[in-house]
Amino acid sequence: MTLTTRFAPSPTGPLHLGHAYSALLAHDMARAGQGRFLLRIEDTDTARARECWEQQIYDDLHWLGLSWETPVLRQSDHLRRYNDALMDLAARGLVYPCSCRRSDIRAALSAPQEGAPLPPVYPGTCRHRDMTDRRPGDALRLNMDKAITALSDRMPLAFTETGPERAGLRIVTANDLRCTTGDAVLGRKEIETASYVLAAVIDDAGQGITHVIRGGDLFDTTPLQVLLQALLGLPTPVYHHHRLIRDENGKRLAKRDDARAIATYRADGASPRDIRRMVGL
């Protein structure tokens, strides 16, 4: 199997140093292994994705000296594919409609603390509902208990992690999935819009990605993605979650952090080599 990596940005803002690190690592790993490097535009969030940001991604990556196969896969061109997978899960009774807002979820959880971030696990308020009862504006959630039962002869699941912080065979138990992932949203409120986790799983398999290289902030979504791969009969790639590039206060860089945007460094006269040095490559 040809080693195949990808960089999969969402065009919702300028690329910053953290993105450059991801893209350079994925590119260099593919080149070192005589493999393939793909670029995928994850623009299913139509409320936030913009073509101007997509164009800037191409410009910044070219300037960094990267090249990739064309045509580039743009997820907004394939919404049907993701929705078909979602409907497949729904037909198997693994998905239910949910009308809860964040405030409803907070209220349903015991002893919520004012201003505290939401715990990751949905309390199950809408779990009794079925698809015939889907109303406009409902999200679709995975019924985690049913998903685990459907895969009972394959549990626990596992994936190989090669990133520096958590390398090894990572075991995904039914208990972890129930307690830390729970009934995740797979279909967003807009009809025909699958969540990022599902779209990425389908495209990683469709594009033959063998190694997913991305920031450590996405490590916690991996158990859910591995579960979805098992449910949909898709292969599980190797995952490599890299360290995050942080600002001088130790904070993770965000899209709105324009000061570290690649475009800002370019405008200030930095070279691609300077960017490599800044991210430690």
Contact positions toward ligand GLU, by CB under 6 A?
A: 8-10, 42, 200, 214, 218
Nearer to ligand GLU, 157 or 213 (CB): 213
The CA distance from 255 to 261, in Å, is: 8
Least CB distance to ligand GLU at residue 7 (A): 7
Specify the residue for token string 């164009």: 55
The CA distance from 10 to 215, in Å, is: 13
Cis preceding-peptide flag for 235 (omega within 30 of 0): no
The CA distance from 216 to 162, in Å, is: 11
Nearer to ligand GLU, 100 or 209 (CB): 209
Least CB distance to ligand GLU at residue 67 (A): 19
Half-sphere exposure in the Cβ direction for 12 (13 Å, CA): 13
Residues in the chain: 281
The CA distance from 179 to 132, in Å, is: 28
CB 244 within 8 A of CB 20: no
Specify the residue for token string 């985690």: 144
The CA distance from 14 to 257, in Å, is: 9
Least CB distance to ligand GLU at residue 204 (A): 8
Q: Compute the C-alpha angle 158/208/24, nearest 5°.
A: 90
Which amino acid would we find at residue 254? A
Least CB distance to ligand GLU at residue 214 (A): 4
Nearer to ligand GLU, 92 or 252 (CB): 252
Nearer to ligand GLU, 10 or 210 (CB): 10
Nearer to ligand GLU, 23 or 177 (CB): 23
Least CB distance to ligand GLU at residue 152 (A): 28
Nearer to ligand GLU, 125 or 162 (CB): 162
Least CB distance to ligand GLU at residue 8 (A): 4
* Beta-strand relationship, 73-74 and 36-41: parallel
